[in-house]
Structure 1
Amino acid sequence: MKIVSAQEFDLRREVEYGSPEQNAAVQQIVQRVKQEGDAALLQYTAQFDRVELTASQLRVTEEELQAAYAQVEPSFITAITLAANNIRQFHQKQKRNSWMDLQPDGSLLGQIIRPLQRVGVYVPGGKAAYPSSVLMNVIPAQVAGVPQIVMVTPPATGGTEGIDPYILVTAAEAGVTEIYRIGGAQAIAALAYGTDSIEPVDKICGPGNIYVALAKREVYGVVDIDSIAGPSEIVVLADHLANPVYVAADLLSQAEHDEMASAILVTSSQEMADAVAAEVERQLESLPRREIATASIRNYGAIIVTRDIAEGIRIVNRLAPEHLEIMVDQPMNVLGMIENAGAIFLGNYSSEPVGDYFAGPNHIIPTNGTARFSSPVDVDDFIKKSSMIYYSKEALLTNGNIIMELARHEGLEGHARAIQVRLEQEGS
């Protein structure tokens, strides 16, 4: 793992928006599904997933959901249930209420909070299947009150046996009953535009590969999306007292996600830098996903040695990482100085996987430095707000001339006259 000074490290990272060929392919897929519906969906499923389906086989049956329970260990169901409870309790605290404010002049102003009606959740296959992502997408939507939650996942997340039974069981435990065996850009298009078999949704959430990310960007505006997620990231801010074994393990916990994942240590201690570099190499030797993690560490990993922790904090804020672990002597003293980070883990025992799976906060977090202006998925992602204005006669008579002044300043005489006719009739 390369060790560099703060001055040598290039803080810029290319944001992955896909090659021209990938963008063109996604646009073609989306348009075909929009125009041809199920026929295009089935053709792409056969082409990309090598699974031949009919339209009647797209939806997972209740019998399949129940059969999946026989394939998973009871201990997994217990673990999922406990995690779901923690996630639900955390997100319950984010709920908003509608409100109204009665003014002295009799006007009533307010904001009405309503849930989205139908949300689509994408659960990826590929390098790994992620039951935890089911919980992190579904539970905030349920807490928000979304009445219809539909899940899509590639038809071979479990290899030749079909959909991974752990994904199905997690979905069932979370209360999802509408599940379709489709993946890739074609699944995103089906959720956005609908087909004969699948009703369109209002919003699409969930991570996926570059084709899924590009498809979400392509349909944004027709539907809402959570984000265009990039590769996973972790930054560990450590002083000389941190445990290098813990630091190395946490860096590798993200490096094993993807060859493009980023794992960075920022430390004020050269001794810590050397110890972590050696420990990463030692732990890599026995890591099952060693090849993936090695590529990540080689291409997107680094150890940055700073003059002091204050310089390290400035680097962290410029990186705006998805995950930030603070392993210093007094982590709470540092917390207030962190301006940009998706999720912050404090102390030696708050390892990133605690947040990924169990603690309660959402693990769908902004990447590629977008923590500068965006936030983890939460209940607010699944609501919409309507402003409410009941203006009294007294208020209009009092403020009408001011409103007309502003409208005429913008050259909108029709706006001004809509107020004027009321003042002329009601003011006399």
Structure 2
Amino acid sequence: MKKKYVLVGTGGRAEFFYGAMVRDFQETCSLVAFCDSNQTRLNYANKLLEEKYNVEKINTYTADRFDEMVETEKPDIVIVTSVDRTHHRYIIRAMELGCDVITEKPMTVDAEKTQAIIDTIERTGQQVRVTFNYRYAPHNTKIRELIRDGVIGEVNSVHFEWALDTQHGADYFRRWHRDKRNSGGLLVHKSTHHFDLVNFWLNTEPETVYATGGLRFYGKENAERRGETKFYQRAHGSEHAKNDPFAIDLEANEHLKSMYLEAEKEDGYQRDQSVFGDGINIEDTLGVVVTYKNKAILTYSLNAYLPWEGFQIAFNGSKGRIEVQVREQSYINSGGEKGDEGKLKEKVLRVIPMFGEPYEVEVEEKEGGHGGGDPELLNDLFGVPKEDEFNRAASHIDGAISILTGIAGNKSLQTGQAVKVDELVNLKR
């Protein structure tokens, strides 16, 4: 029997979900309505349904009519892909109205909103699932398998370096993410993926978190310090932006033009703000130390302005070491093709036994984003899930634990002190 879905938030991430539903999961899914604060964006989502996917338009509701949508359409599941700071509002209300929820990461942005979601799950008995597609990437699953099987013994420390390049990294500083109230900063919005992977790989949870960092590259003050003087607030209509490699031209990209530029008249949101303008209060340079409940430690860094995209990681164990380097296709949201997201350009997974010769582990990549991980995630969400020995489907507990590392990191940035994760939220397990 088909389940009925509605989707809230029709911006850049939404099509990943609704496109898959109408293209690949018509036998198990019925998408019945869109909801967004912007009617122009709602109309564009419907246009994509018709012209790109050859399916009929669906009903649209503005955000102030969310309750009406749920009561009228009677969905089984609400998909939440709105601005991060609003996730909790729709997650909680959907459950109160009797729906289960699928939410894009991060589940929410701070401890108070996390607690409110946890309390509502307990009160209503509804389910919340968080979408972590990185778990499903074959190389990440293989890392979990190697550690689970004891190939390097007990893992005592992890060194994890994530690099965002000047296309993908810069994009967080053009958009709504640049305001920490919207996104929780990169430690929550982006690093939730990475902290979830460490929890998944080591099968443990964070205990204490210490973080340091700041805005070191982007922002007007940093540009002035480097002697750069050609400032503008947004790219559209600016002469200075024409020669700026960090600018995006919404007019030149039909998708971005339709989704954002033509929607500005309703809410004033500018998708193409200057990464060297005022109003940025998130960090672009971050270092985090985490101690886990199994006594392993993590040293983690994130930089959002590097010449390549991907990660380097080392696991140090009682029987050896695993080294991983993955280079990825730069993110698409500044105008590339959707299918390129997470496409691997280079991948090395090496095991170095304590006594023995190092060897590389081959990992078979499949079709689809993140090395074939995206189709598996989507099937778990919308199709008939396969038996999974690695339990990659993420619950609300997984979603909470991953963001609590970043939330604790944000608190540590403010106080200069290490933060105990268990003191932030009662997960009621």
- Shorter-normalised TM-score: what interval? 0.3 to 0.5
- Counting helix residues as a fraction of each chain, which structure ranks higher? 1
- Between structure 1 and structure 2, the one with the greater Rg is 1
Higher strand share: 2
